[in-house]
Amino acid sequence: MKNIKSFLLGLILIFGIILGTATAHTDVNMAFSFSPYSKLQSPSLLQSSSSSYTLNNFLQTKSSSNISPILDTDKIKIGFVKPVFTDVAYNHKFYIFYSRYARIPYGINITKDLGLLNSKVSFSNTQNGTIRNVFALFSLIKSIKGLSNKTQVYSLSDLDVDKGTIFFNLDENNPINLYDILVLGHQEYVTQKEYDNLKRFVFNGGKMILLDGNIFYAEVRYNDNNNTISLVKGHGWAYNGKTAWRNIDERWKNETSQWVGSNYLCYLCIKSFENDPFGYLPHEEQYITNPNDKIIFNFNPVESSIAPSLKSKVSIAVYSLDYGKGKVISFGIYSDDVVQNANFVKFFDHIIMNTL
């Protein structure tokens, strides 16, 4: 693409205009859980200087319950949520089961190999799953150059969101957001509580930035007694602890479309992109499914032969969607693959700054 600097500047200006628009209020009726969780540790504050924290510290940060470090500051708070549940699902567990029983038809109950649908949660850097998406979040934190002294960055995990520690629980029916912005990576596997709490966070006025495609695809349950997750429903299966059977692919497809604004397409369903300033190769993408989405940048995808037949041309784009008092901003692509790209880092920096 010619003159990439001018091109990105134009995108930034458009983004600033879009984010400046007023948000609409939407009624929501959901049940949330905000019970205290004594096992959780204090949140990890990551300074804006890249030399003040290490990758090892970021990887090993556990979840939080002590909210005083957050409440004691007037600074803008950004939480990067590590996708630990997705990491452990890929850790030589769920996908062995999926592969082993890929040809099983609907209506058949599976009672063998069910241990593969349970996996131990780890906060260390020894986990063997898709830990690279955790590296991607860390890489972006280090790359943010424009954060002012009025901004603080925190390291969180799926477990924090699941336990409701992203809220200040003055009123269980009306929790107050502790963070201004939450940045998610490859949150393919989440619990029902995590999903509901993220939805409530946005409804309350929070900004949620989604870096990757293939998000909120399957539901898992977190087991407090042994620090494990178990598949519940999604990714083509359902599991009740005693038997597993073929089921839906995307767990909350319709609901996600309504408040997030897009859904997962499929693996390598895109052949190429006509607009690609980041050097991104097709991987796993979200496609636009909500008419209220505000397109910031359209990648203009060229569909591959295996793409599903849809009523209209697939649109993959960076977009924003107002929900309640807040906003969802999705990159539409699998951004983990381009976090080292200089143009992408600049674009991400400006999105953060325009979202503050």
Of 207, 69, 192, 61, residue with least CA distance to 137: 61
- Does the structure show a pLDDT above 80 at 58? no
Question: Distance (Å, rounded) from C-alpha 252 to C-alpha 66?
Answer: 31
Cβ neighbours of residue 97 closer than 8 Å, sequence gap 6 or more: 113, 116, 117, 237, 244
Distance separating alpha carbons of residues 193 and 196, to the nearest angstrom: 5
Which pLDDT belongs to residue 304? 81
* Residue range 224-244: mean pLDDT, rounded: 96
User: Does residue 43 surpass a pLDDT of 60?
Assistant: no
- Per-residue pLDDT band at 123 (split at 50, 70, 90): low
Which residue would you say has higher pLDDT here, 93 or 245? Answer: 245
The pLDDT of 114-118, averaged and rounded, is 97
For residues 120 and 128, the answer to whether their CB atoms sit within 8 Å is no
Instruction: Tell me the CATH number for domain 4-355.
Output: 3.40.50.880
| Spatial distance between the Cα atoms of 211 and 17, rounded to a whole number of angstroms | 21
Residue 11: what pLDDT?
42
Return the minimum-mean-pLDDT range out of 58-72, 190-204, 226-240. 58-72
Residue 292, CA atoms < 13 Å, CB-side half-sphere: 14
Does residue 150 surpass a pLDDT of 50?
yes
Nearest-angstrom CA–CA distance, 334 and 214: 8
H helices present in 20-149, as ranges? 55-60, 68-71, 84-89, 94-100, 132-143
Confidence of residue 21 (pLDDT cuts 50, 70, 90): very low
| H helical segments located in the chain | 4-19, 55-60, 68-71, 84-89, 94-100, 132-143, 158-162, 192-203, 253-259, 342-355
Count the neighbouring beta carbons within 10 Å of the beta carbon of residue 3. Answer: 8
In the predicted model, is pLDDT for residue 299 greater than 80? yes
Average pLDDT, the chain: 79
pLDDT given for residue 111 in this prediction: 97
**Span 152-167, average pLDDT:** 92
Read off the pTM: 0.81
Query: What integer pLDDT is reported at residue 44 of this predicted model?
Result: 62
